[in-house]
Amino acid sequence: RNGIKGSNLEQLYPPTTVKNLAFSYDYKGFTSTFSGKYHGASYIDVANEFTTPEFVIFNTSLGYTYKFYSLYFSVINLTNKSYFTNGNTDAEGNKYFFANAPRNYSVTFRFKV
């Protein structure tokens, strides 16, 4: 827990709580993974008056490994949730958030020498 010594103010941006949970199953070279992440609210102003909303996102991946090769397909932000991990305020107290990526995909190919 970070803060300013002698005050009740919290550090900007990092949330007080982040929780990750993942389930993985392997069978004869195939791998399947499902994970979830909870990200608590984060302060976006020095006075600790404004925060980003808390959120939960889910990810999944499927993969196959054969000898020295592996191929993985991943989906990040499975539910296509709009979420924010950073933001700012102006002099009038208006909040501005920086959006994170919507649902996105990746393919990974690995070769071990």
Residue 70: CB atoms within 10 Å: 16
In whole angstroms, give the CA distance from residue 41 to residue 62: 31
Work out the percent of the chain whose per-residue pLDDT is above 70.
Answer: 96
At residue 1 the predicted structure's pLDDT band, cuts being 50, 70 and 90, is low
Reported as a single tens digit per residue, the pLDDT across 64-92 is: 999 999 999 999 999 999 999 999 999 88
Reported as a single tens digit per residue, the pLDDT across 47-60 is: 888 999 999 999 99
